[in-house]
Structure 1
Amino acid sequence: MDTIEPVHGTAVLLLIAAVAVAVLLTLIIVVKLHAFISLVLVSLGTALAAGIPVADVPDALTSAFGSTLASVALLVAFGVMIGRLLEVTGGAQVLADTLVSRFGEQRAPLALGVAALIFGFPIFFDAGLVVFLPIILTVARRFGGSVLAYALPAAGAFAAMHALVPPHPGPVAAGSVLGGDIGIVLLVNLPIAVVSWYVGVMLVSRVLAARIMVPVPDLLFGPKNGGRSEGSGHDDRPPPSFGLVLSILLLPLVLISFNTVLTTLRTDGLVAEEGLVVDLLVLLGNTPVALLITLLVTIGVLGTRGRTLAETTSLLDEALAPICSIILITAAGGMFGGVLRTSGIGEALTSSLEGVGIPLLLQAFLIATALRVAQGSATVALTTASGLVAGQAADLGDLQIALLVTAIAAGSTVLSHVNDSGFWLVSRFFGMDEKTTLKTWTVQETTLGLAAFAVAAIAWPLAGAL
C-alpha cells in the first residue's frame, strides 16, 4: 500500500511512533501478552492514530502482513525441513565436526562466521540464516555455553553481506540511484563488510556471549546432542560424508547465485532483458524455488537412506509444527513496519534531517538511520535514503559514491528492533525473549553499522583526493 498524505505534523507522527513502540514493548515484556497478538493490536492502533483512513486500515494491515508472510513462510518452511533432515541423519554433526577439526574448538565461532560471510555473498539474510541454523545449533550443542557465541557471528555475517555488498538488492539499488558503478561498489564494500563484521560483530559477540547466557533452543531440531533422544528420528545409521553435506549446502548457494548475478547484469544492461535460458536460471535461483529444489535433493539423498518416504514425511511434519509461531510473529512484525511506512512516519522523520548543513556522508547515515528506526526495513531505508541524497552526489567520483552507499547501508543496519521482521526471526530461532534480543541482536546490529560508517568516514577524504 502506498504512503498516505499525512494528516498530522512531524512532531505528532514521531510521538505516535514512539508511543507505539513503547506500548508494544510493555504489552510483550511487562504484560506478557503473546507477541503476535501484541503486534497486531499495536499495528491497528497505530494505523488509526496516524490518520490512515478507517476504510483503508484493513488493507494497510493485511498488505504488509501478506508481503512479509510471502517472503518468509516458504523460506522458513523449506529451510527447517532441510535442517531437520541434516540434523537427524547426522549431516549437521559431520559438518560441525569438520569445521571444528579444521579451525579448532576455540575458533568455532570464527569458523561459523567466516562460512556465513562466504555463503552470504549471494544469499539473502533470512534464507542464509535458516539454511545455516542446524549447523549453528549443532556446534552450540557440542560445546555448550551460550548459543550467542555461535549464533551472533553467523547471523551478523549474513546481515553485513546483505546490507553492504552487491548483488544484494539494497546496495545495488542505492548504487544505481546515486549513479555509481556497481562493480566499484562491490570492490569497495566487500572488504568494508569483512572489517566491520569482525570489529562490530565478532568482537562484540564474544562480550555479549560472556555476559548473557542463552541456552541452546530445542524448538526446531528436537532434544540435545544431535537429536539422539527418543522421538527425534535419529538412529545408528552411518552419517553422510562431509562432501555430500557440503554439496547440499552449496546447491542453494549456486542456484541463488544465478538469480542475483543475472538480475544485476540485467539491471546494468549487460544481459538482454529477454531470453529463455536466462529466465530459467533466474527462476531456478529464486530463493524459495532454490530451497525447494535443495529440499527435494536432500530428501532423495539423505531422507530416504534406510527410511521409507512415509517416515521421512513424518520427520518433516515434526519440523514444521513448531515454526507456525515464528512465521506469524515475523509477518506481524513486518505488518507493524508496513503501517509505519504507510502512515508517513518515516518520511516525517527524515524530512527534519534534510538541509541542516551537516556533511553529506553523515547526513546520508543519519537519514538512513532515521528510516530504519521508523519503519524497520533495511532495504527500504537504503533505497529511500539514497534517493534523498542523490542530488548532492551528482559531482562525486565513483569511490566516494561507493562510500556513500556504505554510509547509507550502515545507517540502514543499526538499531534493529520490534518493527523489523529480522528481529523476530533471530529472537524466535535462537529462543530469546524480546528484552534479551534488544540487549544482544539490536546492540550487535548497531555496532556493525557504526563500524561500517567509521571505515567509510576514514576513507572518505582519501577517496575525494583520488
Structure 2
Amino acid sequence: MTRLSVEMLAADAVEPITSAGHAQLGIAVLAGIAVIVLLITKFKLHAFLALTIGSLALGAFAGAPLDKAIASFTTGLGSTVAGVGVLIALGAILGKLLADSGGADQIVDTILAKAGGRSMPWAMVLIASVIGLPLFFEVGVVLLIPVVLMVAKRGNFSLMRIGIPALAGLSVMHGLVPPHPGPLVAIDAVDADLGVTLALGVLVAIPTVVIAGPLFSRFAARWVDVPAPERMLSSTGGSPQTPAQRPSEELEKRPAFGATLVTILLPVVLMLAKALVDIVIDDPENTVQRVFDVVGSPLIALLAAVIVGIFTLGRPAGFSKERISQLVEKGLAPIAGILLIVGAGGGFKQTLIDSGVGQMVLDISKDWSIPALLLAWLIAVAIRLATGSATVATISAAGLVAPLAADMSTTHTALLVLAIGAGSLFFSHVNDAGFWLVKEYFGLSVGQTIKTWSVMETIISVVAGGVVLLLSLII
C-alpha cells in the first residue's frame, strides 16, 4: 500500500461518518452481513440489490446519517467500477473472441491430441488453467464440460477422473489470478500491486491445482463412479462443442495454436514484466521502468490483448469488421450483472471503512495473536459459506481487512489478496449457483455433488490458504 493511500485511510479513520463505539460497530457489521445473507438466501434477491440494502442497513445500525451512508455507498460504487469495470469488460471481450473464433477449441484439440490415457487428467487441468486465464468461471464451464463428457465417454474414463481436474483449473484461476473480478476487486480494495499479485497467484495456483485436480480426482472417481450422462452427450450432438459455439464449426479456418496461446498469455506476460522491472530497476524516473509501467498496466495489457486478438483470432476465423463489432457487443452484454454486483460490493466496502469498521478491525486485531492473513481467510470463508458467492465474500472480506495492509510490504499485501481469494472458494454448497451448474451438467445427485465438487472447492481453499501462509514466512 502506498504512503498516500495509508494517509488517506488514516484520514478516513479520524473522521468517520458515525461516532459509534466498537460494540455498536460490531453489531452493525453483523447486522449488515446478516441482511445481505438473508436477502440472497431466503428471499432470492439479486446480489446487487442485497448489497445495496445491506450497506444502508450497516450505516443505519452504526448510527450514521442516511445521507452520509448513501454518499459513502455511491462513492465506493463509483471508484470500484472505475478501477475494475473496464478490466472486467476487456476480459469479457477477450473471452468472447477466444470462444467464438474457435481459438479455445484449438487449444483443447491440440493438447488432447498429445495426451495419452494416464496423462489425460493432467491434460484436462492444463487446458482448464490456460483457458481459465481470460474466461469467467461460468463461461469456462460451458466451454469445457462438453469436452470433458466426450473424453470420458470415448476414453472409457470415470467422469470424475476427467471432470474434477477441469473444474479445479477453472476454479483456481477464477479465485486467485487476475484479471478475474474477485482478485481485481481485492487488489483495488487493499491497494496491492497487480503484477506481484499475479506472479504470486500463479505460484500459489500450481500446487493447489495439482492437489485439488489430478490427485484428488483419483479419490473422487472412487467415491462417485459415474459415466458421462447420455442426455448431455446427446445434447451436444456428438460434438465436443456447445450449441452456443456451433457457428465456429462453420468457419473456414480456426486460429493457430501458437497465435491463440500468445494472445491469451500476452496480458499476463506484460503485467509480470512490469512487476519484474519495478523490482530490478526500482527507479520511477527511469525511462525503461516508465515504459513498462505503461505497457504493463492492467488496462493497457488487456487492451493490447484484445486488439492483438482481433488479428490473431478474429481474422484467421474469417470474421468481418461487422462480425467483430457484434462480437464485442455480445461479449459485453452478459457482464452487466457482474459489474453491478462488483460496484455494489465496492459501495459496501466503502461504507464499512467510512463507518470506522476498518479501523475497529485494525484496533482489535492488534491484541489478537491470529495472523492477518489467516484472519482474512477466515472472514472470507464465513461470508462464502453464508452467501454462496465467492465475489461477495471477496468484496466484503477485502473491505473488512483493508486497514491491515497499511503496514505490510508489497509481497505481503499481495498475499493478503490471495488469502481472501482462497477463503472465498471454501465449500461450495446449495446456496452457490456453481454447485447447481456442476450438478446438472454432470448429472449428479446433491450428495454426489457435495462429495466431489464441494470437497474439491474446500481442498482448493485450504491448500491455497496454506501455501499463502507458508510463503508469508519465506518472503
TM exceeding 0.5:
yes
Question: Match of 2:298?
Answer: 287
Q: Residue 88 of structure 1: CA displacement?
A: 2.0
> Is 1:447 matched with 2:447?
no
1: CA distance between counterparts of 2:61 and 2:260?
51
> What is the deviation of 1:82?
1.9
Instruction: Supply the distance in 2 between the matched residues of 1:5 and 1:160 (Cα, whole angstroms).
Output: 33
2:424 is matched with 416
Q: Quote the offset at 1:371 in angstroms.
A: 6.8
Kept after mapping to 1: 8 A contact 2:112/2:120: yes
Give the TM-score taking structure 2 as reference length: 0.66
**Alpha-carbon deviation of 1:194?**
4.0
Deviations, residues 334-369 of structure 1 (Å, cap 9, x unaligned):
32233223322233234334235x4xxx43444444
Q: How does 1:231-250 map to 2 (within 5 A)?
A: 232=247, 235-250=250-265
Say what the alpha-carbon RMSD is for the aligned residues: 5.1
Judge conservation of contact 2:31–2:61 (CA < 8 Å) in 1.
no
Write the distance in 2 (CA, Å) between the matches of 1:366 and 1:229: 41
Out of 305, 308, 311, the position equivalent to 1:297 is: 308
2:387 aligns with none
Of 97-106 and 330-339, deviating more is 97-106
- Change in Cα spacing, 1:226 to 1:195, as seen in structure 2 (3 Å) is closer
Which 5+ residue runs of structure 1 have no aligned equivalent?
121-126, 163-167, 176-181, 216-221, 391-400, 419-425
The AA in structure 2 aligned to 1:285 is G
Q: Do the aligned residues in 2 keep the contact of 1:200 with 1:444 (CA within 8 Å)? A: yes
d(CA) in 2 for partners of 1:408, 1:20: 23
2:144 corresponding residue in structure 1: 139
Secondary structure, counterpart of 1:155 in structure 2:
helix
**Structure 2 CA distance for aligned equivalents of residues 105 and 323 of structure 1:** 38
| Whole-Å separation in 1 of the counterparts to 2:244 and 2:367 | 62
Decide whether the 8 Å contact of 2:270 with 2:301 is kept in 1. Answer: yes
Count of aligned pairs: 409
Q: CA deviation at 1:308?
A: 2.1
Q: Does 1:255 align with 2:274?
A: no
Who is 1:316 aligned against? 328
Give 1:156's aligned amino acid: V
In structure 2, the residue matched to 1:87 is: 99
Q: 1:152 aligns with which of 160, 168, 182?
A: 168
Q: Does the aligned pair in 1 maintain the 2:24–2:61 contact within 8 Å?
A: no
Q: Whole-Å Cα distance in 2 between the matches of residues 295 and 442 of structure 1?
A: 31
Provide the rounded CA distance (Å) in 1 between the counterparts of 2:198 and 2:310.
36
Q: Secondary structure at the match of 2:250?
A: coil
Tell me the secondary structure at the aligned position of residue 358 of structure 2: helix
Cα offset for 1:410? Answer: 6.8
In structure 2, relative to structure 1, the CA distance for the partners of 1:245 and 1:411 (3 Å cut) is: closer
Which range is displaced more, 229-238 or 244-253?
229-238
Decide whether the 8 Å contact of 1:89 with 1:234 is kept in 2: no
1:95 Cα shift? 0.4
Q: Check conservation: 1:350, 1:370, Cα contact below 8 A.
A: no
Q: Report SS of the residue matched to 2:367.
A: coil
* Residue number among 363, 371, 395 corresponding to 1:363 in the alignment: 371
Query: 102-111 or 70-79, which moves further after superposition?
Result: 102-111
Deviation at 1:287, TM superposition (A): 1.4
TM-score, length of structure 1 as denominator length: 0.68
Please state how far the C-alpha of 1:169 moved relative to its aligned partner.
7.0
Report the CA distance between 1:31 and its aligned residue: 1.0
- Given that residues 156 and 444 in structure 1 are in contact (C-alpha distance below 8 angstroms), is that contact kept between their aligned partners in structure 2? no
Asked if 1:78 corresponds to 2:97, the answer is no
Q: Is the 8 A contact 2:92 2:136 kept in 1?
A: yes
CA change 1:115–1:193 in 2 (3 A) is same
Report the AA paired with residue 49 of structure 1.
F
Q: Could you tell me how far apart the structure 2 residues matched to 1:388 and 1:440 are? A: 35
Secondary structure in structure 2 of the residue aligned to 1:23:
helix
| Mapped contact 1:201–1:448 kept (Cα < 8 A) | no
Q: Aligned in 2, Cα 1:134/1:46: closer, same or farther, shift over 3 Å?
A: closer
Give yes or no for contact 1:410–1:448 (8 Å, CA) kept in 2.
Answer: no
Alpha-carbon offset, residue 55 of structure 1: 3.6
- Trace 1:333-412 onto structure 2 (pairs within 5 A): 333-356=345-368, 358=369, 362-369=370-377, 376=394, 384-385=403-404, 387=406, 411-412=419-420
Conserved? CA contact 2:55–2:73, under 8 Å: yes
- Partner Cα separation in structure 2 for residue 252 and residue 198 of structure 1: 24
Structure 2 counterparts to residues 88-237 of structure 1, below 5 A: 88-104=100-116, 110-111=122-123, 113=125, 128-130=133-135, 137-144=142-149, 150-157=166-173, 159-160=175-176, 194-196=206-208, 198-199=210-211, 225-226=240-241, 232=247, 235-237=250-252
User: Residues 157 and 295 of structure 1: is their aligned pair in 2 closer, same or farther, counting only changes over 3 Å?
Assistant: closer
Quote how far apart the aligned CAs of 1:290 are.
Answer: 1.6
